């Protein structure tokens, strides 16, 4: 069994050793500041009592309030929350946002819950953690299994205890103090990072680049559509039910319509059926894992035929697989660089809420793209100067910024 937090700390330790951090500083930076584990008990539609467990791990707030998503999924546990909270600390630092890192969620299966049950779980969870979140404490956001509606319920329930404060959570509906561009932010960011990677690494445009995308949820679908609009050839996509491929390129707008109607990519007439395993081993220029974490182990890493990997998902690569990719000279753009678009636009939403002023979509897109371009360039340049991987460079940059904030503030 792999442990996500252990894997994240493996990357942290490697970067910390390059920086020459003392053992005391490494422990200080790696240890979560607070961990919450709460019972979320509700009455189910059947009249039975449903008992769920909720988590919120607050990893570091040296640079600002804790920030990170809430995940509703059967895999949610302390280990996953610790890992993802830690990654948020380094991610917000890499893209230079005034945040720390947090993460959490509820261990439940949203596919087996009614809308009313989902709302009751959300409100009960907020009742358990409301004293520990807030616009200047910890700001949750959507993640796997949650969406703008869930964020609206959180804002409303939090307001019952603390008054109307939209900035307590991001990813809200636009009609309820949300931000334009938030829903597509992560996928848009992955596409921009892909463009920057291709230009910096191979000096080639997106147009004509072959891409395979594992996962066609919010992140994968928006990533596919943006790259398609840039001229990339999306030759395969997959979801939890299977995949579809076409060596001539899939018609992504038509595929999106198919998924909207059927809730899955399987059965799309514009390509042949394929498995997730086939997709991950295809010969493409860029492979984008955009589903859950823990996709690549050492064995699968040996089978990958893509020229590069861009991590749209959180923690898709185990350390032993990362070593295989490094040995095989397959560059990997890490999650804390590639999928930061969501937290970037969440920051814009938070700022808009605090200002009581709405930005235009053009302003949001311009500022988001600038941050992606600058953060990738900083990581790429550091990797070249130090002769390390993009992942190591990203961790070095993030740890430097968080560590500096810790030292300046004092204990």
Tell me the per-residue pLDDT of 354-372, one tens digit each, with 9 for 90 and over. 999 999 999 999 999 999 9
Residue 256 has pLDDT above 60, yes or no: yes
Return the active site residues: 103
Q: Where in the chain is the domain with CATH 3.40.50.720?
A: 185-330
Q: What is the mean pLDDT of the chain?
A: 96
Region 229-258 average pLDDT: 96
Average pLDDT over residues 302-312: 97
**Residue 238, CA distances (Å) to 52, 376, 411 in order:** 30, 27, 47
List the alpha helices (DSSP H) in 31-114.
Answer: 78-94
Neighbours of 338 (CB within 10 A): 32
> Which pTM value belongs to this model?
0.94
233 pLDDT more than 90? yes
> Which segments of the chain belong to CATH 3.40.50.10860?
1-15+52-165+390-411
The percent of residues in the chain predicted with pLDDT above 70, rounded, is: 100
Which strands make up the sheet holding 34-43, listed edge to edge?
Answer: 34-43, 49-60, 101-106, 66-72, 138-142
Give the separation between CA 3 and CA 6, rounded to whole angstroms.
5
Structure confidence by residue, pLDDT tens digits, 78-136: 999 999 999 999 999 999 999 999 999 999 999 999 999 999 999 999 999 999 999 99
Q: Tell me which fold the domain 1-15+52-165+390-411 belongs to.
A: Rossmann fold (3.40.50)
Query: pLDDT tens-digit profile of 49-80?
Result: 999 999 999 999 999 999 999 999 999 999 99
In the three-class reduction of DSSP (H, G, I as helix; E, B as strand; rest coil), residue 184 is classed as coil
- What DSSP assignment string belongs to 212-263? EEE--SHHHHHHHHHHHHTT-EEEEEEETTEEEE-TT---HHHHHHHHHHHS
**What is the pLDDT, as a whole number, of residue 292?**
82
> Binning pLDDT at 50, 70 and 90, where does residue 258 land?
very high
pLDDT in tens, 145-173: 999 999 999 999 999 999 999 999 999 99
Alpha carbons within 13 angstroms on the beta-carbon side of residue 283 total 1
How high is the pLDDT of residue 1?
A: 44
- 185-330: CATH architecture: 3-Layer(aba) Sandwich (3.40)
- Which residues partner with 287 through β-bridges? 212, 309
User: What percent of the chain clears pLDDT 90, i.e. is strictly above it?
Assistant: 95
Note the pLDDT of residue 2. Answer: 60
Query: Tell me, what DSSP letter sits at residue 199?
Result: I
Residue 362's contacts (CB-CB under 8 Å, 6 or more residues apart) are none
Total H helices, total E strands in the chain = 15, 12
- CA nearest neighbour of 196 among 206, 182, 187, 188: 206
* Confidence grade of residue 410 (pLDDT, cut at 50, 70, 90): confident
CB 80 within 8 A of CB 6: no
Side by side, the strands of the sheet bearing 272-274 are 272-274, 242-245, 233-239, 210-214, 286-289, 308-310, 332-333
């Amino acid at each position: 069994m792999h442990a996500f937090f252990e894997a994240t700390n493996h990357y942290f330790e490697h970067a910390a050793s390059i920086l020459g951090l003392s053992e005391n500083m490494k422990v200080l930076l790696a240890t979560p500041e607070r961990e919450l584990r709460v019972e979320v008990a509700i009455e189910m539609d059947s009249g039975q009592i449903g008992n769920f467990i909720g988590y919120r791990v607050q990893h570091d707030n040296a640079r600002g309030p804790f920030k990170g998503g809430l995940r509703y999924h059967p895999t949610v546990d302390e280990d996953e929350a610790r890992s993802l909270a830690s990654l948020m600390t380094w991610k917000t630092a890499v893209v230079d946002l005034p945040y720390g890192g947090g993460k959490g969620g509820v261990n439940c299966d949203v596919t087996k819950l009614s809308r009313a049950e989902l709302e009751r779980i959300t409100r009960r969870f907020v009742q358990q953690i409301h004293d520990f979140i807030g616009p200047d404490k910890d700001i949750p956001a959507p993640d796997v299994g949650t969406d703008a509606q869930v964020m609206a319920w959180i804002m409303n329930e939090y307001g019952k205890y603390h008054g109307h404060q939209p900035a307590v959570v991001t990813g809200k509906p636009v009609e309820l103090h949300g931000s334009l561009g938030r829903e597509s932010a992560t996928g848009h960011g992955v596409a921009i990072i892909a463009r920057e990677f291709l230009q910096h690494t191979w000096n080639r445009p997106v147009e004509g680049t072959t891409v395979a995308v594992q996962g066609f949820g919010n992140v994968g679908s928006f990533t596919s559509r943006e790259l398609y609009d840039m001229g990339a050839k999306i030759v395969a996509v997959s979801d939890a039910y299977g995949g579809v491929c076409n060596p001539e390129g899939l018609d992504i707008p038509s595929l999106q319509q198919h998924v909207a109607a059927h809730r899955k990519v399987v059965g799309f007439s514009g390509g042949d059926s394929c498995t997730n395993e086939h997709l991950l081993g295809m010969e493409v220029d860029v492979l984008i894992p955009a589903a859950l974490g823990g996709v690549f182990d050492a064995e699968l890493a040996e089978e990958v035929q893509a020229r590069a990997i861009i991590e749209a998902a959180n923690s898709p690569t185990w350390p032993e697989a990362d070593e295989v990719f490094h040995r095989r000279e397959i560059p990997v753009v890490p999650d804390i660089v590639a999928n930061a678009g969501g937290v970037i636009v969440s920051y814009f939403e938070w700022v808009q809420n605090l200002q009581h002023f709405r930005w235009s979509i053009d302003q949001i897109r311009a500022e988001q793209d600038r941050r992606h371009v600058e953060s990738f360039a900083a990581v790429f340049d550091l990797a070249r100067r130090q002769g390390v991987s993009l992942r190591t460079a990203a961790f070095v940059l993030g740890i430097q910024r968080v560590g500096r904030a810790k030292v300046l503030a004092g204990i």
